[in-house]
Structure 1
Amino acid sequence: MTAHRTARRLVLSLLAGFLLAGTVATTAQAEDGYRFWGYYQWSGGQWAFAQKGADVVVPADGAVEGWRYAVGGAKPRVPRAAGDFEAVCGKTPAETGKKRVALVVDPGTPEDALSGETPGPATGTCVVTDVNATGAKILAAVAPVRIEKGLTCGIEGYPAKGCGDQVKNITVPATDEPVTLQIDAAVGSTAAPAAAESGQSSASDGGAPWVAIIAAVVGVAVLGSGGLVLSRRRSSQQS
């Protein structure tokens, strides 16, 4: 079961990586995207899309983790607030044998929401937990997590349904207006790993269309490599 979950998360990570990297050739297919919770780390003064799933990432003491719900296309849809560790964890004292990780959760904009859903404010929470805690455990310590088919589909009940759904003809703003984090009280590592699984649905429940997602990954990769070859050929002919 764990292997299946990791494989599914890797598929969505690969897809998001292709969509968010912005390196593929511009085609009609590039106008399609997915609505999902993206997982990020704050590094070098900016947000970077996570290259591994939250269940295997082990943030270090002083790290900043981020989650953003959005419709993803060719441009990264990162959390709209900076990953300021001092703002989130500066007033929380360090503890021997523990680590402090700042967690930023951004439900996104009303434009990205499913019909009838309203996103809450972007929040920052300092999580004090054991040094081996994964990104998934850190998130579960702050809010209930709805998991379907190995994917993080909802955080604190948002959204109430759907998971990695494809969205046709998306419209993504050039920039997202920055927001100020609502700083919540620090929490300890009181959530057991099972808490993140409590919302997991059975295999018969609706979830991300994995066959279509895998096909999309392959298609986007082919389009990207084809565009690169074509570009090189044109450059060679013009030289």
Structure 2
Amino acid sequence: MTAHRTVRLVLSLLAGLLLAGTVTTTAHAEDGYRFWGYYQWTNGQWAFAQKGSEAVVPADGAVEGWRYALGGTKPRVPRAAGDFAAICGPTPAESGKKRVAVVVDPGTPEDAPAGATPKAATGTCVVTDPAATGAKILAAIEPVRIEKGLSCGIGGYPAQGCGEPVKNIKVPATDAPVQLQVGAAVGSTAKPATDNPAQTEDSGTPWAGIVIAALVVLVLAGGGVVVARRRASQQG
């Protein structure tokens, strides 16, 4: 295990202990951190990852989650459900590969560092090697800024900073759910069914060719009739 991987694993476990405290029911002020949290969709809810993303190998059909937020004693999970069918359903399975749905939630404006504006939460289906780790799967979607063994920025957000402590943060009791922007699958080589000429409504018959051939026949037939009439008139 490399030094960076060891650091990442230790820091991830420490973050898990930090986030595993008592869940409060009202907003309150506390000291915390601003960072990307790593989650897995398990039994119908988000669970904070117990290992760093380099040490997790998601199975086919798994849903990974990343959420940027101000975190204290209350977990700040992705604000959209881990719906594998909605994210990966349209993507056909491929032999020798796995499909993993990934939810990336940059959080709210209140979570953002000064001057930064979070993008919308996204859902992406990644088709990749069965041995691919959570880190490799995330990197297939967006560039990841790594510092001190931590995933500090995803897709350029935030542009700087990494897990610095923040004094007197206010964590909301709940986060309003959001609708994911589901993008095109990443890594898939299979074509959607609608792109397959054999499955389109009119692809089985070359109508243009038939029409042209029919016109040619009509023209030739018309020419034959004219020639026959001329011969008949000459013989008469």
The TM-score with structure 1 as length reference comes to 0.74
In structure 2, the residue matched to 1:16 is: 15
Q: Gaps (5+ residues) in structure 2?
A: 24-28, 190-236
> Distance in 1 between the 2:10 and 2:172 partners?
25
Q: State the SS of the aligned residue for 1:136.
A: helix
Q: State the SS of the aligned residue for 1:15.
A: helix
Q: For 1:55-204, what aligned pairs fall within 5 Å after superposition?
A: 55-188=54-187
In the alignment, residue 83 of structure 1 is paired with which amino acid? Answer: G
Q: For 1:18-37, what aligned pairs fall within 5 Å after superposition?
A: 18-23=17-22, 31-37=30-36
> Distance in 2 between the 1:186 and 1:34 partners?
32
1:185-229 Cα distance to aligned partner (Å, 9 max, x none): 001079xxxxxxxxxxxxxxxxxxxxxxxxxxxxxxxxxxxxxxx
Instruction: After the TM superposition, list the runs of 4 or more consecutive aligned residues in structure 1 that deviate by more than 4 angstroms.
Output: none
In structure 2, the residue matched to 1:211 is: none
In structure 2, the residue matched to 1:52 is: 51
Q: State the SS of the aligned residue for 1:138.
A: helix
> Distance in 2 between the 1:166 and 1:86 partners?
37
Contact 1:40 1:49 in 2 (8 A): yes
Contact 1:130 1:189 in 2 (8 A): no
Question: Structure 1 residues 36, 189: closer, same or farther in 2, change over 3 A?
Answer: farther
Contact 2:13 2:51 in 1 (8 A): no
Question: Structure 1 residues 3, 23: closer, same or farther in 2, change over 3 A?
Answer: farther
> Distance in 2 between the 1:72 and 1:189 partners?
35
The TM-score with structure 2 as length reference comes to 0.75
Question: Structure 1 residues 39, 189: closer, same or farther in 2, change over 3 A?
Answer: farther
1:126-172 Cα distance to aligned partner (Å, 9 max, x none): 00001000000100000111111111000000000000111111110
Contact 2:60 2:130 in 1 (8 A): yes
Q: What RMSD over aligned residues (CA atoms) do the two structures have, in Å?
A: 1.6
> Distance in 1 between the 2:188 and 2:139 partners?
9
Higher gyration radius (CA): 2
In structure 2, the residue matched to 1:3 is: 2
